[in-house]
Amino acid sequence: MGSELIYRGHESQPAADAYSPKPGKPWLRVTRPFRYLLREQRLAFVLLGVVIATVFFTFLPSSPKAVTEGYGYYPALQDSMATSRVSSAMMTNWGGSGKVPLGLKRKGLRVLVTGGAGFVGSHLVDRLIARGDSVIVVDNFFTGRKENVVHHFGNPRFEMIRHDVVEPLLVEVDQIYHLACPASPVHYKFNPVKTIKTNVVGTLNMLGLAKRIGARFLLTSTSEVYGDPLQHPQVETYWGNVNPIGVRSCYDEGKRVAETLTMDYHRGAGVEVRIARIFNTYGPRMCIDDGRVVSNFVAQALRKEPMTVYGDGKQTRSFQFVSDLVEGLMRLMEGEHVGPFNLGNPGEFTMLELAEVVKETIDPNARIEFRPNTEDDPHKRKPDITRAKELLGWEPKVSLRKGLPLMVTDFRQRIFGDHIEEAATTTTKSSLD
Ligand SMILES: NC(=O)c1ccc[n+]([C@@H]2O[C@H](COP(=O)([O-])OP(=O)(O)OC[C@H]3O[C@@H](n4cnc5c(N)ncnc54)[C@H](O)[C@@H]3O)[C@@H](O)[C@H]2O)c1
């Protein structure tokens, strides 16, 4: 009774001590995955997946430019730098190299502009923001003003850091435009030790940053590196005639050292660099009363003061409108050549001729007052821009007679507080073409 309910399974099981597992066939373990794949067209699906992945990664957009970029006038560097260039291009920025995971693809570049609250820097910032980039301005406001960039406040693609480039800085960007340095004689002579520190230590810091984060670095050097030139017009291959112990040396020699450092980081550490040698530039947002001749003449003529001409007024300068310079700087940064490149307007004016144009634009009755020339003031300055024309496809477009009225409008407003339309102070291309 109840015998059916009693579990008898153990009776059919072999005794534990009698158990001996059947030896497996080892070749079965190897072939099992293949047999699995071959069943039910699984192989076809695997192959299809491989084909799709290959097509996808082949056509995923990437910019080979950063990787294949050249070294300007230093072709010998091409090979030796190739390795570091490739690795830095791969490791770094999304600014144009490497494949960025889907969904993380950036829209614009991340750009650091040192001295971005200054005259040239603020116009550069306008163009970069308009292009869709994200811009970080670093400035200690020695000569720069928040007013120059205030129209970007609140824009999520704009950041401003009060910082002195003499101190180290760490930010993640794709490109560094290094402009921080007082540019007018009044300002750079004010504290010459600080000026040379800014040029040397500040440039070292920014180059170190570029190396660390793999950013491309552009130095805004100056025509002053040619000193009082013995060659006219000045070509980039000219080494200059500079007084190393004069009152302007903190600036001239400071920029020469900055160029040296830039090339040494390029040759020694594979940093992607660009060097611009800027000639006299003018336009809205220049510092008033900064001792630079165009701003001096305009401010004096507006205030009905005599225009001060140093020496006999026959020394020449070339004057470039700021929008032309910004275009040149951006082409240089995006291009394939290290430089240095002269960026200036070859149209040459004597100081007396400039005074005449200012008179025509502001006040035909404006007077001229002669004063003794300042020490080390170069007699002639005119850029040879053949190299920039050929390799960057750049040349200035705005004549003095067209650019000066835009600057006068801005100065008039700042000196007298006139109401003017915002459009008059900005240098959109449309206003100048
Ligand atoms: N404007 C020209 O005609 C001209 C000509 C040749 C070269 N450059 C070069 O172009 C650059 C810009 O010149 P600019 O005319 O706009 O001059 P600017 O004086 O208007 O601008 C320089 C900016 O750098 C900032 N700055 C100065 N020292 C700094 C420091 N230690 N740390 C952080 N910020 C600092 C200033 O506050 C200012 O905003 C300079 O490097 C200058 O040497 C200009």
- Which residue lies with its CA nearest to atom 41 of ligand 1? 179
Give the confidence band of 377 by pLDDT, cuts at 50, 70, 90.
Answer: low
Are 62 and 98 in contact, with CB atoms under 8 Å apart?
yes
Q: Position of tokens 């080494």?
A: 239
**Does the pLDDT value for residue 109 go beyond 80?**
yes
What is the position in ligand 1's atom list of the atom closest to the CA of 120? 16
Q: Give the pair of three-digit tokens for residue 335.
A: 């291009």
What is the pLDDT averaged over residues 295-322? 91
Q: Position of tokens 């504290």?
A: 191
Cβ(403) to ligand 1 under 6 A? no
Pocket test for ligand 1, best of 126, 150, 181, 196 (most atoms within 8 A of CB): 181
Among 81-95, 289-303, 324-338, top mean pLDDT goes to 324-338
pLDDT of residue 423: 42
Q: Which residue has the higher pLDDT, 230 or 103?
A: 230
What is the pLDDT averaged over residues 393-419? 90
Pocket test for ligand 1, best of 125, 145, 179, 324 (most atoms within 8 A of CB): 179
- Which residue lies with its CA nearest to atom 25 of ligand 1? 115
pLDDT of residue 40: 74
Separation between Cα atoms, residue 338 and residue 77, nearest integer Å = 11
Q: Which residue has the higher pLDDT, 54 or 333?
A: 333
pLDDT of residue 38: 72
Cβ(116) to ligand 1 under 6 A? no
Give the confidence band of 332 by pLDDT, cuts at 50, 70, 90.
Answer: very high
**Does the pLDDT value for residue 166 go beyond 90?**
yes
Identify any residues that bridge with 370 across adjacent strands, giving them in sequence order: 309
Are 381 and 225 in contact, with CB atoms under 8 Å apart?
no
Question: For the chain, what are the domain ranges?
Answer: 77-96+105-281+320-345+380-397
Q: Which residue has the higher pLDDT, 91 or 114?
A: 114
Of the ranges 12-26, 105-119, 166-180, which one carries the lowest mean pLDDT score? 12-26
**Does the pLDDT value for residue 2 go beyond 80?**
no
Give the number of other CB atoms < 10 A from CB of residue 418.
9
Task: Please give the distance, rounded to the nearest whole angstrom, from the Cα atom of residue 19 to the centre of ligand 1.
Answer: 90
Mean pLDDT of the chain: 81
What is the position in ligand 1's atom list of the atom closest to the CA of 182? 19
- Which residue lies with its CA nearest to atom 32 of ligand 1? 164
Cβ(196) to ligand 1 under 6 A? no
The CATH code that applies to domain 77-96+105-281+320-345+380-397 is 3.40.50.720
Q: Which residues contact 347 (CB under 8 A, 6 or more apart)?
A: 318, 319, 399, 400
Q: Which candidate in 177, 226, 251, 282 is catalytic?
A: 251
Q: Position of tokens 């190396």?
A: 211
Task: Please give the distance, rounded to the nearest whole angstrom, from the Cα atom of residue 277 to the centre of ligand 1.
Answer: 13
Cβ(323) to ligand 1 under 6 A? no
- Establish whether 251 is a catalytic residue: yes
